[in-house]
A and B are shown apart, each in its own frame.
Chain A
Amino acid sequence: MGERQITLEVMRYRPETDTEPVFQTYAVPCQEEWVVLDALNYVKDNLDRSLSFRWSCHMAVCGSCAMVVNGTPMLSCKAFLRDLPDTIQVEPLRNFPIERDLVVVLDDFMEKLRSVKPYIVPKEAPATPDGTFRQSTKQLKMFKPFAMCINCLACYSVCPQYGLNEGFAGPAALALAHRYNADSRDVGRKAREDVVASNVGIWECTFVGACSEVCPKDVDPAAAIQQTKIASTVDYFTDLILPGRKVKGGPGKAAGGKA
């Protein structure tokens, strides 16, 4: 197990004393196989107990620990030192207000996630003896990749449209809306269009594609959004041609989750 000396430049912001963020430098003796999060924990335990950052699982699944490492947002628990130079700069996710140090304010995302109705709007209860829906391999594959989102928000950190447009629902929320739209058990697409196909939904996305490039879980939100654009456009023109057509789970229908 080799040791390696790393210079960690961490963006600090202490709201009670700082007027703006500043970088603080720590010299950290690291093990070869460490990740950036290990180095931060070393700092917290041995050098500076006042450094704040979020983490929990240390296995790239809880989504707490995303931060900008040398310019790119990534999960710090999966940012291996072996892939990084000796000087590592760590910042909080961009496009979010900084609460303190590497901790950002997530209220906006949480509200947007709720707004896209990320839950099954069922057509009717399944009529099977065990009370479950049947799903073919293809039906599962249609939505599963979009269900892999860990809400780490790396995608929001690189999406310029999220930075420029306050209202924009953003890549992960829209990918999750698409995840339910694409689920064979769901009939809520119409109900979701309220937000998804509004002026703060998919139409704010200009297909920069950066979201999909940085996503640690290969969710491909850019794809989800473009597919939703096509579906919504088709819906729009169908509605124009056939006004008042009956739609399953349309806006009038309550999105009850009782099952």
Chain B
Amino acid sequence: MSNRPYVRPMAPSWYMQEGRYVRYMVREVTCLFIALHALVLIVGAFRLSQGPEAFNGYLQALWGPAGILLGLVLLVTTVIHSCTWFNLTPKAMPLWIGDKKAPGWIVVAAHYGGWAVVSLVILVLVGSL
């Protein structure tokens, strides 16, 4: 049969080949750091259960040079996670005001606002309890 449609396979490295795919992959990979952060917290919980000394040792490690580096990496990646997550919210949850669809930026801005408030409240609460 002469008729053979040609199937162009997708390159295994497709996600490196266009800016939009690279951005997508960066977003997806942040989840590994979310998991890492969860792990850090689980370890903390164990150390907490083992008494003050263990917990202090845990804190000292976190606050040492390696710990700070880890903290910075986690901060950057979780912020990327938060931003990419919030930026997409208008698509998942469009907002209707009367019979008009509100522009997407309002939904995004509301999320950023909420995020700022929550973060500040927690920072202040922990510092002043």
The reply to whether A and B meet directly (CB within 8 Å) is: yes
Task: Identify which of residues 68-93 in chain B touch chain A, using a CB-to-CB cut-off of 8 Å.
Answer: 88, 90-93
Residue-by-residue, is A111-143 near B (CB-CB < 8 Å gives 1, otherwise 0)?
Answer: 000000000000000000000000011100100
Is A223 a contact of B5 with CB atoms below 8 Å? no
Given A136-B99, A226-B91, is A20 in contact with B10 using a C-beta cutoff of 8 Å?
A: no
Q: Which of B4, B93, B99 contacts A138 (CB 8 A)?
A: B99
Measured between C-beta atoms, what is the minimum distance from A258 to chain B in Å? 31
Q: Is A249 an interface residue (CB 8 A)?
A: no
Q: Report whether B5 and A210 are in contact in the complex, using a CB–CB cutoff of 8 Å.
A: no
In the assembly, what is the distance between CA of A199 and CA of B7, in Å?
24
Residue pair B14, A163 in contact (C-beta under 8 Å) = yes
Interfacial chain A residues near B98, Cβ < 8 Å: 138
Question: How many residues of chain B have a CB within 8 Å of chain A?
Answer: 26
A72 nearest CB across to chain B (Å): 9
Q: Tell me whether A15 and B2 are in contact in the complex, defined as CB-CB below 8 angstroms, given that A160-B21, A164-B10, A208-B24 are known contacts.
A: yes
**A80 part of interface (Cβ distance < 8 Å):** no
Chain A residues 69 to 96 lying within 8 A of chain B, measured CB to CB, are 71, 94-95
Contact A95:B10 (CB < 8 A) given known A213-B20, A227-B92: yes
Classify chain A's interface size: 35 or more
Q: How far is the CB of B2 from chain A (nearest CB, A)?
A: 5
- Besides A97-B7, A222-B91, A230-B93, 13 other A-B contacts (C-beta < 8 A): A21-B8, A94-B8, A95-B10, A104-B5, A105-B5, A141-B100, A160-B21, A209-B91, A210-B20, A220-B91, A223-B94, A227-B91, A229-B92
> B-side interface residues toward A, CB under 8 Å?
2-8, 10, 14-15, 18, 20-21, 24, 28, 88, 90-94, 96, 98-101
